Amino acid sequence: MNKFISQALGYLLHLLFKRTILILTIFFCMGVGIAVVNMSRVSSNLIKSQAIQHAAFYSQAIREARTLYSSEVVNRVEPFHRITVTSNYKAQAGAIPLPATYLIELSQRISEQNEGMLVRLYSDYPFRPRLQQGEGGPQDDFELEALRQLRQNPEQPFFRLEQFRGNQVLRYATADIMKPSCVACHNTHPESTKTDWQVGDVRGVLELIEPLDALMNQIIVGLRGTSIMLGGISFLGVAGITLVLGRLRQTAQELELRVRERTADLAQANTELGKTNALIRQVFGRYLTDEVVAKLLEDPERLKLGGERRKITLLTSDLRGFTATSERLSPEEVVQILNLYLKQMADIITKHEGTIDEFLGDGILVLFGAPTIKTDDAVRAVACAVEMQLAMDAVNAQIQELGYPPLEMGIGINTGEVVVGNIGSEKRTKYGVVGSQVNLTYRIESYTLGGQILIAESTLQEAGVMVKVSGQKEVKPKGVKQPIPIYEIGGVGGKYNLFLMTREEEFFTLPEAIPLQYTVLEGKDIGERVFAGSLVTLSEKCAEIQCKQDEQYIIPSQLSNIKLNLLTKYYGMIKVSEDIYAKVLEINPDKGSFDICFTFKPPTVQHRLDTLYQRLKN
């Protein structure tokens, strides 16, 4: 790679010395072109800005004139009944115009005295004389759109640049809003086409049409002169540089000699790089993450076996019911599903700077704080977990497109002191962690349901107030003397702003209980004792099981896992369903029942229970 860069650099230098004037001329021309285009764009924006300010000023002045006329003239003469205020004031002696009529005629005067400018007042409810003359209503698409926009947002002017009667213009429209003095007149006037006006209604639109052709022509003339000036400056610049380059060519031989020396240095560097690459290949065969590799390259002593005691945050995830699902699929299908799932999860873990310690089937163990300790390790672990759960929707969309059932994942997080470092032998080494806190992390994860995140109290204290807790339980994991609190996570705020969707389960009592048998799981093993019971209530993902009272029954402990089978009478025989797996949520000793959440349902059972649930729900 370095040799290629050296050759490319030499070629470019050679081209620069041999064709310097041509290259500089091209660069100057490109610079002039860019400058002219940029000036044209800035000028156009300036014209638009000035035109908008000009139109806004005129619009405000016209509306202020109408307001002044209405309050200081019309309101003063109304008590004198000898003075009539009417739109047809010219036909009546001693009459004065209505404020709207005054505004229309003022607009006509402004349009006559300013060449090209046009001022219009229009409404979709004009007085009948203007309606009959075809003058008072909207005349084109812009005016219709202005009425619609200003009724939605009367405080915001509506404008745009467009071609109008063969000229480039700015059309600027503002809302004509009903004031208290206007409402009484318009609602009682015999020529009004609308009599239910209210204060604040948009009566119509005052529009100014301002021509821009003259300004645009001035800009074009200015740009032409600027272009000529820049061209002249560019010519003088190229001429001056040409003289300087005459002297630079005299040093070409010396520069070529230096390039040869540099090439020799690069060759030596390539040799050293080969040694480094050999070390990298060795490291990649023994370690998993780029961060670990970087640490080892900085300090080769880290390659030695051994570790250090360190406080870190551990995250472990596992798919609920995937073992039972995988038994129904071919090995190739299982691998395809796992690759889709693990790729998405690995990308998110890398994003949050976690170190993937290992993949264990469908499980993942992630380290936050090894090999590099950071102050926000715990909160990054929680944010990573929340984003992993949110990503399951996208994972399941891909999996279901391939015709496989959706997956559910549980995540456990714990913070504690472990030994982290190189574990193994000289021939095969693994960067990993050992200690009781690793086992506790797996225990916490084992209590989760699909879509759930549970964390230890130590992690909650380290993560701080950004973490949103949605529930708390006390559990007594194997190997722990006293019960410990664990917390269900609903999201994480701050810069992460990631939150899980929550949905309450809606339970329905079955019209006829479904008999079943269940067995308590002991770790990964199925217990020997089989107990009888019946399914009495059902929700989308959960259910209540009533234990059979006529024998020495046992209610499973909270958060334990069970295997159950539905029993159906079939031609006098008892038909046993395929294996269903669930986790015990709550126990009700007084009722002799317990609540479960399903972790795996075979397709036939899934269909049966879903159909029953929908029938109860509807």
Cα–Cα distance, 290 to 296 (Å, whole number): 10
Distance CA 472, CA 466 (A): 17
Higher pLDDT, 104 or 195: 195
419 and 518 assigned to the same domain: no
Nearest to 58 by CA among 14, 117, 13: 117
In a domain, 119, yes or no: no
Q: Are residues 545 and 473 part of one domain? A: no
**What's the pLDDT tens digit per position in 523-548?**
767 778 888 999 999 999 999 999 98
* 193 token code pair: 């086409």
Tell me the per-residue pLDDT of 21-61, one tens digit each, with 9 for 90 and over: 666 667 667 766 776 667 667 667 777 777 787 777 777 77
515 in the same domain as 385 = no
Mean pLDDT of 153-182: 83
Q: Which domain CATH number covers 411? A: 3.30.70.1230
Which is more confident, 459 or 322?
459
pLDDT at 259: 81
Element holding 445 (H helix, E strand): helix 436-446
Structure tokens at 349: 């873990």
Q: Which of 10-14, 312-316, 448-452, 506-510 has the lowest mean pLDDT?
A: 10-14
- Residue 306: is its pLDDT beyond 70? no
User: Which of 228, 116, 127, 126 has the alpha carbon at shortest distance from 169?
Assistant: 116
More confident residue, 443 or 523: 443
What kind and span of H or E run contains 461? Answer: helix 457-463
More confident residue, 275 or 490: 490
Residue 91 located in a structural domain: no
Answer yes or no: do 380 and 525 share one domain: no
461 lies in the same domain as 430: yes
The answer to whether residues 553 and 493 belong to one domain is no
Mean predicted confidence (pLDDT) in 561-567: 93
Lowest mean pLDDT among 187-191, 331-335, 472-476: 187-191
The DSSP result for 22-67, as a single string, is: HHHHHHHHHHHHHHHHHHHHHHHHHHHHHHHHHHHHHHHHHHHHHH
Residue 189: its pLDDT value, please? 76
Residue keyed to tokens 């929680």: 382
Q: Is residue 16 part of a domain?
A: no
Say if 551 falls within a structural domain: yes
The residue type found at 14 is H
Q: What is the pLDDT of residue 340?
A: 94
pLDDT in the model for residue 19: 63
Is 458 part of any domain? Answer: yes
Most confident of 56-70, 128-142, 587-601: 587-601
Looking at the chain, the whole-number percentage of residues with pLDDT higher than 90 is: 33
User: Residues near 108 by Cβ (< 8 Å), separated by ≥ 6?
Assistant: 119
Alpha-carbon Rg for the chain in angstroms: 41
Choose the final residue of a domain: 499, 532, 547.
Answer: 499
Using 50, 70 and 90 to split pLDDT, how confident is the model at 428? confident
Residue 284 confidence (pLDDT)? 43
CA-to-CA distance for 194 and 615, rounded, in angstroms?
55
d(CA 268, CA 172): 71
pLDDT, residue 614, reads: 92
Instruction: For residue 450, give the nearest of 346, 597, 580 by alpha carbon.
Output: 597
Q: In this structure, how many other beta carbons lie within 10 angstroms of the beta carbon of residue 536?
A: 17
End-to-end Cα separation, the chain, in angstroms? 68
Q: Three-state DSSP class for 481?
A: coil
Amino acid at position 378, single letter: A
Q: In terms of domains, do 490 and 599 share one?
A: no
- Output DSSP code: residue 15: H
Token digits of residue 282: 């060795």
Q: How confident is the model at residue 562 (pLDDT cuts 50, 70, 90)?
A: very high
Give, for 183, the enclosing helix (H) or strand (E).
helix 180-188
Structural domain total, the chain: 2
Does 287 score more than 50 pLDDT? no
Say which residues have a Cβ less than 8 Å from residue 191's Cβ, sequence separation at least 6: 87, 127, 128, 129
Task: Identify the three-state secondary structure at position 410.
Answer: strand
Residue 402 falls inside a structural domain? yes
> By C-alpha distance, which of 491, 415, 418, 489 is closest to 459?
415
Interval 115-158: pLDDT, tens: 667 788 888 888 777 776 767 778 888 888 888 888 888 888 98
Where does 357-435 have alpha helices with state H? Answer: 377-401
Q: What is the pLDDT of residue 288?
A: 47
Q: How far apart are CA 373 and CA 612, in angstroms?
A: 52
* Closest to 381 (Cα-Cα) out of 398, 396, 365: 365
Q: How far apart are CA 582 and CA 585, in angstroms?
A: 9
> What gap in Å lies between CA 532 and CA 541, rounded to an integer?
21
- The whole-number average pLDDT for the span 191-215 is 80
* pLDDT at residue 149, rounded to an integer: 87
Strands 542-547 and 593-600 come out as antiparallel
Q: How far apart (Å, rounded) are the C-alpha atoms in residues 307 and 422?
A: 6
Q: Has residue 476 been placed in a domain?
A: yes
pTM: 0.55
pLDDT of 307 reads 77
Q: Identify whether 186 is part of a domain.
A: no
- What pLDDT is recorded for position 204? 84
418 and 515 belong to one structural domain: no
pLDDT of 77 higher than 80: no
The Cα–Cα gap between 189 and 184 comes to 8
481 and 525: one domain? Answer: no
The per-residue pLDDT for range 369-426, each reduced to its tens digit, is: 988 889 999 999 999 999 999 999 999 999 999 988 899 999 999 999 999 988 877 6
What distance in Å separates the CA atoms of residue 56 and residue 238, rounded to the nearest whole number?
Answer: 48
Q: Domain span at residue 424?
A: 308-499
Q: Domain boundary residue among 499, 525, 544?
A: 499
Res 94 pLDDT > 70: no
3 state SS of 116: coil
Do 526 and 420 have their domain in common?
Answer: no
Residues 459, 520 within the same domain: no
Q: What is the pLDDT of residue 58?
A: 74
pLDDT at 277 over 60: no
High-pLDDT (> 70) share of the chain, %: 77
Do the beta carbons of residue 385 and residue 411 sit within 8 Å? Answer: yes
Q: What is the mean pLDDT of the chain?
A: 81
Q: Which residues pair with 543 in a beta bridge?
A: 538, 596
Q: What is the DSSP string of 223-291?
A: HHHHHHHHHHHHHHHHHHHHHHHHHHGGGHHHHHHHHHHHHHHHHHHHHHHHHHHHHHHHHHTT---HH
Looking at the structure, do residues 490 and 577 belong to the same domain, yes or no?
Answer: no
Please give the DSSP secondary-structure letter assigned to residue 192. -
The reported pLDDT for the residue numbered 276 is 58
* CATH number of the CATH domain containing 556: 2.40.10.220
The dihedral formed by the CA atoms of 187, 193, 199 and 205, expressed in degrees to the nearest 10: -150
What is the tens place of the pLDDT at every residue in 361-378?
889 999 999 888 899 999
Q: Does position 337 have pLDDT exceeding 60, yes or no?
A: yes
248 pLDDT more than 70: no
How many CA atoms are closer than 13 Å to the CA of 416, on its beta-carbon side?
A: 16
325 vs 378 pLDDT, higher one? 378
Distance (Å, whole) CA 569 – CA 289: 56
**Residue after which a domain boundary falls, among 457, 476, 499:** 499
